[in-house]
Structure 1
Amino acid sequence: MLRKLLAILSAFLCFGLANQGHAEDGYDLWLRYQPLESGAKARYQPLITHLVAPNSRPTIRAATDELQRGFKGMFGHALVQRETVMGNGSVLVTRADSPNLKGLDLPFAKLGEEGYLIRSATIAGHRVTIIAGNSDVGALYGVFRFLKLLQTGQPIDNLDITDAPKLKIRVLNHWDNLDRYVERGYAGQSLWDWQKLPLYKDPRYIDYARANASLGINGTVLTNVNAKADVLQPEYIAKVKALAEVFRPYGIKVYLTARFSAPLDIGGLKTADPLDPAVRAWWKARVDAIYAEIPDFGGFLVKANSEGQPGPADYHRTHAEGANMLADALAPHHGVVMWRAFVYAAENAEDRHKQAYSEFQPLDGKFRDNVLVQVKNGAIDFQPREPFHPLFGAMPKTPLMMEFQITKEYLGFATHLAYLGTMWEEALQSDTFRPARGSTVAKGIETPVEPGAATGMAGVANIGSDRNWSGSQFDQANWYAFGRFAWDPDARAADIARDWARLTWGNDPATVDTVVRMMMGSREAVVDYMTPLGLTHQMATGHHYGPGPWIADLQRPEWNPVYYNKAAPDGIGFDRTAKGSDALSQYAPQVAENWGSLATVPDALLLWFHHVPWDYRMKSGRTLWDELVIHYDAGVDHVRTMQADWAGLRGKVDAERWAQVRDFLSIQLEEAIWWRDASIAYFQSISKRPLPEGHKPPAHDLEYYKAITTPYAPGQVH
């Protein structure tokens, strides 16, 4: 009996320890470095016998540390590290000017400053793997690519890989406040613990830098676009300096948001007029002081004259005059200004879709060389679907950088599975027809306005203090996808999803296929149950949580969902043709013609550009009303399909992460039904049409949904 009890206890302990070793919480992101199967180890080990790193510069040291970390995780032991090549199986991590590479004809000329190559070669009779770039950071990026090959089981015996970023500035925008509250953040507090900086540097900052470097992200804006001037004070610059020291070996520059009224707020001046000599001198002195502490400081991100933020228009100056003042202060230090084009004003009666174009397009060519105008993917505000912003292609003399929102302010926060790669690919591959057919948004932002000019992409970060970084397991994919698109705007969402799935959930083909299938349909599902057929901005007040298509009492007209849906007895949708706001005229004639005709406009943008009768016959042959209801139900049904798909992966992925995704999908289904029912109840009260056959009525009447309030929902602006 005792022997039997001991056997049971032994089995229990073994089971517990095995599961403990397999338990994951998402902290490792896509850098999990899980143990390889014995067959993979046997294939790889003869090709990787030792590490050669001829110097110990900080970035090369970061690269070799990462290689050792990955090797220990996957193979169970570290590599022997040497100074020179001494046998077959050497992995050489170096720079183009290394004596070890003398005499080899390697294509460094086409790699630029940050590109890399991974090449199987022979040096002194030994078969080696070279990982190198023109800079140390290029070698670091190459190491991450090499580790990805091992993680995903790719052959490494005959490598010939070259890669380089298509954009120069690849930056995260953290909407983090100095009190650690993150505006539109759904993953806990800010990572930056300002109270403990500069003397305590949380080790997590290094893991943040590692994750970004693995994607080629080379900059981080530490503070909210709704900026506080305090961060420009010396005591905070000392804290920023500490973060810059952590990030520097990983090729990441720090940037700050600059509150335009800082000369008034903290400088003791009586004006912030960008043409005032005292104001210009104040900014120059402040910038010089920053660079004295942080020599590689990246520059400023500015939100001005938007949503109550101060700006040059307060002094009857243009955006160009405001941006150029800061650019002049930064230019001697090679810093840049990222000036946001997100502007609209309550006193401006013009269609909100048109306002950014109206303010910025006439300024084309008037900005300094070190200014990038940062343009959102769409003209409204990071909606589940928007047509591409009309400024893309319309300012050929001005560097435009793309701004995407990684955090899901309008797509269900952290609990709704919505892979944004499909949204971003849709925007980037849109044809602006400027100057001609084939002029995609991606090509526009990749192509410098003149040789050597800046190019870039920014992403509003979804990162916080939650253990899994992003608030949910699948939201990590959006951080990952942003980095991949910032490196290559012509990348494809499906390829990125497959890479992330393999790195995050393992290489089992059935698991990967299921995860990718869920991801690729997820954003369209959100569009369907929230804002189908070109509807937009139908979210509730302030926090943007839950449906509110009936809201009409907010102070500013463009904050009200009714402003966008225009639902009335005669139909629904916003007329942006020449008969309406004429927003279509801001696009190239070919685009305006296509989207301006009911015969050719895609169903997905119908109500964005047209006010359409409820009984209008869609391409499907159904009425608009019936089509609208069918889309709402399709969105809900897709969430149910994702639930079933995920249930099938039980036991194929670790239990902790599986359970969290399961529970979040339950939240998503409940809220998708809420969106569907509330929206149909409201629009049916106006259309007076019956539901199409086979589609259930909402669970409650309209007044029930109107009475729902969520004053403490995440996302409230402090």
Structure 2
Amino acid sequence: MKAFSGLIGAVALLLAGTAHADDGYRLWLRHGGETARPAPVDAPAGAPMTVAVRGATPTLRLAADELARAMPAGTMPVTVATAGDAGIAALRLPFAALGDEGYLVRTVTLDGKRTLLIAGNSDRGTLYGAFALLRHLATGGTTSTAALTSAPKVKLRVLNHWDNLDGTVERGYAGQSLWDWWTLPDLKDPRYTDYARANASLGINGTVLNNVNAKADSLTPRYIAKAAALADVFRPWGIKVYLSARFSAPIELGGLKTADPRDPAVAAWWKAKADEIYRAIPDFGGFLVKANSEGQPGPRDYNASHADGANMLAAAVRPHGGIVMWRAFVYADTDPTDRAKQAYSEFKPLDGTFADNVLVQVKNGAIDFQPREPFHPLFGAMPKTPLMMEFQITKEYLGFATHLAYLGPLFEETLAAKTGRGRETVAGVVDGSSEGHRLTGMAGVANIGRDRDWSGSTFNQANWYAFGRMAWDPALPAEPLAREWAQQTFGGDARVVDTAVAMMMGSREAVVDYTGALGLAHLMATGHHYGPGPWVSDLKRPEWNPAYYHKADRDGIGFDRTKTGSNAVAQYAAPIARQLADPKTTPERDLLWFHHVRWDRPMRSGKTLWQDLVAHYDRGVGYVAGMRRQWDGVRALVDAERWQKTADDLAVQEREARWWRDASLSYWMSVNRLPLPAGVTPPEHDLAWYRAQHFDYVPGHY
């Protein structure tokens, strides 16, 4: 009997532990976490909470359900409605400035009773308002302080999924694709609804379902039906679906001999295909296109321009209100002197020639989502063309899923950058305010997969969160968003929140430090991009090689992009170009991006460039070690499952940060023949050991 009682006790403990386990599935939508939120001070304790719905749309019902599930007991009655409701219109509230998706939350008297009103000009605006109120409450607010109003500054707020039809995800580090193409359209996984809900909570209103390296099969009737099933799930949450279109589809699916955008038969094929898609998906958003980049087909195959290709597709979707997002990532061997110049060279001359339902989608930097890049020179250079920002949420170059790297500071750094055209910022270009564009957009390459925590780790969720919030308002700073996310993700304990925010805010800079500070970039190993490979110099095309980007030799290091080199600085507006042309006025964080300088160049720190570079590597590794100590300090305050997963990831990150540091220093010393500064720990192995490391089956490399 005693043994049996012991067994019962053990089972009870196990079940108790399970009850408190948390695998991260709920993201930031925890609605109070493990413990109920106390009743707000402006309502009598224990008073029933009611939600009235004025209207009958599925979206209003979703808003009401979110509030009914999450609002604490004792809250005053809540009303969800749209501005067009007669009773709401009679209140004469300031809806005019909210546009189609903005919201208003405030206490009003309606039908003689006090109620907390959540409303917008559309039911989507009301849904966003409901989530805004819940965010307000989860971050310390009360209904008495809930006087909220906001409208998105960017029209299209879109996730780009690089998901393949076979279930793999290019540059995906959170498991297989969320979309089970095999069982669609018959089986609709509940995760599709949970995905849509998470995006709606951030104001994300679009998703591109398939990889930009597209297969023509995505446009066949079979796959259109599958996309339509997803669109049906997403629609009540205010999310449109888009498809990446393969430019050569008229040949592969239509039997044409050409995909020349100027050929009437090609244009007719695309018009018929668009009509077919819209019959299945009436609110289909449009096409995303990667053309003439990394071997993808495009209009330049026929001596036509990017504008010719984009405008032909734009004409096909125009009758249905669709748009085309045409990527400016044109990575080919057409400009061997400097890969960074290619997009500007091809797109700048086309400014003003794109149709008015075309957005040119531009990466934040001119190379490829590096841990740090100067802002892309196209921002500010095409005032007659709407430019859509493309950020990468998945961390292809920032440690995949295991390295903690909060990207909010990267997004903020880019958006706040001055273009050199008066007081214009990149954010002003993206949101249309500086040039008066009404069609605007921001895209994020998603980090979402089938892992239970969606993103490969708890902290990776913060990058999805920060992207969505900044897409709504590009002026939002990174640090308050980190705090918002941490409060909603970990609960209200200030010790945990403060620790998480402190870790997050320096984490991206740490990755820059241990992978390539002072403007170094593209130093990763070939193909899979896992780990360091600054020594690679024997690949077929020059710009495939890391040595092409750092140009280190006995005397110095860095890529000369001034007039004595590639003259890429000339692609920026004159004030920026003048600043970057001189190493003395170039920000040191970008120094080696624009200049080849001597190893013994004096730096602001008082050290030589070599000494300063070594210090950056050590600082990056030290920051990761510091994050491990910080996280250890809150072990008793975080649920065991998420704490342990994060602790394990941080251990991997510290080991790999040291690998990056040691391998890089070994290589630089083989080139510059300089000793390490006094007191600096030497690399663990010699250069030959690091060069001999080889890895197969790296995640996300397909």
Letter in 1 for 2:516: T
Partner of 2:401: 414
Contact 2:176/2:449, CA 8 A, preserved across alignment? yes
Letter of the structure 1 residue corresponding to residue 346 of structure 2: E
Q: SS where residue 41 of structure 1 aligns?
A: coil
1:51 equivalent to 2:48? Answer no
Task: Determine if the alignment matches structure 1 residue 119 to structure 2 residue 141.
Answer: no
Letter of the 2:462 partner, please give it: A
Which among 194, 197, 204 is matched to residue 217 of structure 1?
204
Alignment deviations for residues 61-109 of structure 1 (CA, whole Å, 9 cap, x no partner): 12122223324xx65xxx9xxxxxxxx9220011001133242121100
Distance 1:115 1:16, change over 3 A: same
Q: In the alignment, what sits opposite 2:430?
A: 445
- 1:94, 1:502 → 2: CA distance? 28
Q: Distance in 2 between the 1:431 and 1:683 partners?
A: 33
Query: How big is the shift at 1:15?
Result: 4.7
1:549 and 1:42 map into 2 onto residues whose CA distance is 57
Corresponding residue number in structure 2 for 1:151:
138
Partner of 2:97: 110
Q: 1:636 maps to what in 2?
A: 621
- Structure 2: state its 5+ residue gaps: none
Q: Give the root-mean-square deviation of aligned CA atoms.
A: 1.8
SS of the residue corresponding to residue 25 of structure 1 reads coil
Counterpart AA for 2:213: N
Task: Check conservation: 1:343, 1:356, Cα contact below 8 A.
Answer: yes
Counterpart amino acid of 2:623? Answer: H
Q: One-letter code of the match for 1:672?
A: A
Query: 2: CA distance between counterparts of 1:152 and 1:662?
Result: 25
- The one-letter amino acid of 1:620's match is S
Amino acid in the other structure paired with 1:345: A
Distance 2:615 2:347 in 1: 39
Output the CA distance in 2 between the equivalents of 1:169 and 1:681.
46
Amino acid across the alignment from 1:57: T
Distance across 2 between alignment mates of 1:129 and 1:32 = 22
Corresponding residue number in structure 1 for 2:672: 687
Aligned equivalent of 1:516, options 498, 501, 509: 501
Decide whether aligned partners of structure 1 residues 454 and 367 sit closer, same or farther in structure 2, where only a CA change above 3 A counts: same
Seen in structure 2, the aligned counterparts of structure 1 residues 35 and 654 have a Cα distance that, compared at 3 Å, is closer
Give the C-alpha shift of residue 122 in structure 1: 1.7
Give the aligned partner of residue 120 of structure 2: 133
Deviates more, 1:377-386 or 1:504-513: 504-513
What is the aligned partner in structure 2 of residue 714 from structure 1? 699
TM-superposed CA distance for 1:36, in Å, is: 7.7
Alignment map for 1:598-677 (pairs within 5 Å): 598-677=583-662
2:232: which partner in 1? 245
Letter paired with 1:680: L
Q: What is the alpha-carbon distance in structure 2 between the residues aligned to residue 446 and residue 504 of structure 1? A: 29
For residues 602 and 347 of structure 1, the distance between their equivalents in structure 2, rounded to whole angstroms, comes to: 30
> 2: CA distance between counterparts of 1:389 and 1:332?
33
Q: Structure 1: which 5+ residue stretches go unaligned?
A: 80-87
Cα distance change, pair 388–157 in 1 and its aligned pair in 2 (3 A): same
C-alpha distance in 1 between matches for 2:340 and 2:675:
33
Cα distance, 1:180–1:44 mapped onto 2, change above 3 Å: farther
Normalising to structure 2: TM-score of the pair? 0.97
* Paired residues of 2:133 and 2:146 also in contact (CA < 8 A): no
- Work out which of the residue numbers 25, 38, 43 in structure 2 matches 1:27: 25
Query: Which residue of 1 is the match for residue 67 of structure 2?
Result: 67
Match of 1:478 in 2: 463
- Cross-structure match for 1:587: 572
User: Which residue of the other structure, out of 411, 436, 439, is the alignment partner of 1:454?
Assistant: 439
Of 528-537 and 708-717, the range deviating more from structure 2: 708-717
1:181 to 2:181 alignment: no
Equivalent residues of 2:50, 2:68 under 8 A apart = no
Give 1:713 shift: 1.4
How many residue pairs are counted as aligned between the two chains?
700
Measured against aligned partners, the alpha-carbon deviations of 1:552-583 in whole angstroms (never above 9, x if no partner) come to 11122111000001010110000001111000
Percentage of pairs with the same residue: 62
Shift in CA distance, 629/48, structure 1 to aligned 2, threshold 3 Å? farther
Q: Which moved more, 1:521-530 or 1:554-563?
A: 554-563
Which residue identity does 1:342 align to in structure 2?
Answer: F
Structure 1 equivalent of residue 415 of structure 2:
428
Equivalences for 1:193-272 in 2 at 5 Å? 193-272=180-259
Task: Decide whether the 8 Å contact of 1:551 with 1:561 is kept in 2.
Answer: yes
Q: 2:560 aligns with which of 540, 553, 575?
A: 575
Confirm or deny: 8 A CA contact 1:40 1:153 kept in the other structure. no
Q: How far off is 1:588 after superposition?
A: 1.1
Distance 2:390 2:570 in 1: 23
CA, structure 1 residues 160+292, in 2 after alignment: closer, same or farther (shift >3 Å)?
same
Could you report, residue by residue, the CA deviation over 1:352-381 in whole angstroms, capped at 9, with x for unpaired residues? 111100000000000000000000000000
Query: 1:507 Cα shift?
Result: 1.1
SS of the aligned residue for 1:403 comes to: strand
Q: Secondary structure at the match of 2:637?
A: coil
Letter in 1 for 2:601: Y
Asked if the contact 2:40/2:142 (under 8 Å) is kept, the reply is no
Structure 2: how far apart are the matches of 1:596 and 1:348?
Answer: 21
Change (3 A) 1:48 1:381: farther
Q: Are positions 1:290 and 2:277 aligned together?
A: yes
C-alpha separation in 1, matches of 2:376 and 2:683: 35
One-letter amino acid matched to 2:476: A
Query: Offset of 1:151 from its aligned partner?
Result: 2.0
Q: 2:548 aligns with which of 555, 559, 563?
A: 563
Q: Which amino acid aligns with 1:534?
A: G
Task: Check the 8 A contact 1:291/1:297 in 2, yes or no.
Answer: yes
Instruction: Go from structure 1 to structure 2 and tell me whether the alpha carbon gap of 1:158 and 1:419 turns closer, same or farther (over 3 Å shift).
Output: closer
TM-score (norm 1): 0.95
Paired residue secondary structure (1:415): coil
Q: Contact 1:369 / 1:453 at 8 angstroms: preserved in 2?
A: no
How far apart are the structure 2 equivalents of 1:170 and 1:181? 24
